[in-house]
Amino acid sequence: MKNSLNGIRSLGLALVGTLVFTSPGFAESTQIVEATAKVAAAAEKFLAGLSETQRAAVKYPFSDEEQKAKWSNLPEPMYHRHGLRLGDLTAAQREAAMSVLAATLSPMGYQKVVEIVEADEVLRKDGNPPNIVFGKDEFYLSFVGAPSATTPWIVQFGGHHLALNATLAGSHGILTPSLTAAQPAIYKVDGKTVRPLGRESDKSFVVINALNEEQKKQAILGSAFRDLVLGPGHDGKTIAPEGVKVATFTEKQKELLLDLVNEWVGIVNESAAAEKMVEIKSHLSETYFAWSGPTVPGSAAYFRIQGPTLLIEYAPQNLGGNPLNHIHTIYRDPTNDYGKRYTAK
């Protein structure tokens, strides 16, 4: 696993290293189009290396609403995904599949995904429970819509504790809804401690402890949360905002919150992520930050960030006796999941 995963990391950094874009306005839109074209080219190369049967299995029409929603945090066979399973691909096909993912994501996002996949491989090596299958072979790739630099399509990649839905639509890109999770959330590879969602946890405690007492009082909820409120199977649903309004934050507190938000927004390639961050900043005064649980760094605590075009949840799980080692998170845009704002007629 070491060599293959190191190869995936190197491939991802090489491919997405050219996608760093920072210019605003028209230039930024142009850069998103260029990034989308790179993803489409990687997807076409992947498709060219498949058999006709494999191509039929990986491609779905953009109108297929059932396939768009075909994702979960559950492992096989508790939840059966559609698309091409990585374990059924040749080495060359698998490398091409990961090239698509690398082009779609930022270096940070790609690394996070690789670490989530590695965590599932750790579970496999520890021994699968009866009738449950873990491991890096159990992740699926599918395309909803035809790869294109201009017309909308979706790159879907996921398996146990991972579900990415990247909608690419010419000068726009969005990664919602997407689920990132980890079990184990802390493990070692070659003597190095790996925490796939570690920055999310660490930065959240920085935010809650940067608040003054009145802000904390508003942010901390009386309810306890055992899992995500708007996780898999909750497309189209909403909840009332709770917590402290970010309009009360100082500029420094806002910076800390945006840095936390970027752990989800920044998974997609940098040009698309930059566009989304601008949008989130424009609604910051209408955004809420909510917390449930201890505020001591390193504790198991739930939090939620909710604005007009944003919902992020982070939920430690109480299964297995150690909530710190089993984390679920969700990233949504109630106005634009699956790019519906870009494709509305």
Tens digit of pLDDT for each residue in 109-132?
999 999 999 999 999 999 878 889
Residues 33, 61, single domain; the answer is yes
| Residue 97, SS3 per DSSP | helix
Same domain, 257 and 145: no
In a domain, 188, yes or no: no
Rounded Cα gap, residues 246 and 170, in angstroms? 32
b/e per residue 188-213 (b: at least 16 CB within 10 A): ebeeeebbbbbebbebbbebbebbee
Instruction: Say what the pLDDT of residue 27 is.
Output: 57
pLDDT tops 60 at residue 216: yes
Q: Alpha-carbon distance 210 to 250, whole Å?
A: 10
- Residue 1: its pLDDT value, please? 44
Where is pLDDT greater, at 191 or 7? 191
pLDDT the model gives residue 130: 81
Answer whether residue 262 is part of any domain.
yes
Say yes or no to pLDDT of 15 above 60.
Answer: no
Q: Specify whether 148 is located in the same domain as 273.
A: no
Render 186-198 in DSSP notation, one character per residue.
SEEETTEEE-TTH
Write down which residue in 180, 213, 236 finishes a domain. 180
- Picking from 129, 158, 180, the residue at the C-terminal end of a domain is 180
pLDDT in tens, 17-73: 333 333 345 556 788 899 999 999 999 999 999 999 999 999 999 999 999 999 999
Instruction: Output the average pLDDT for the chain.
Output: 91
Q: What is the pTM of this model?
A: 0.91
| Closest to 69 (Cα-Cα) out of 179, 229, 146, 227 | 179
For range 148-172, the mean pLDDT: 97
Total domains, the chain: 2
Based on the fold, state whether residues 138 and 17 are members of the same structural domain.
yes
Same-domain pairing of 150 and 65: yes
Q: Which domain range does residue 134 map to?
A: 2-180
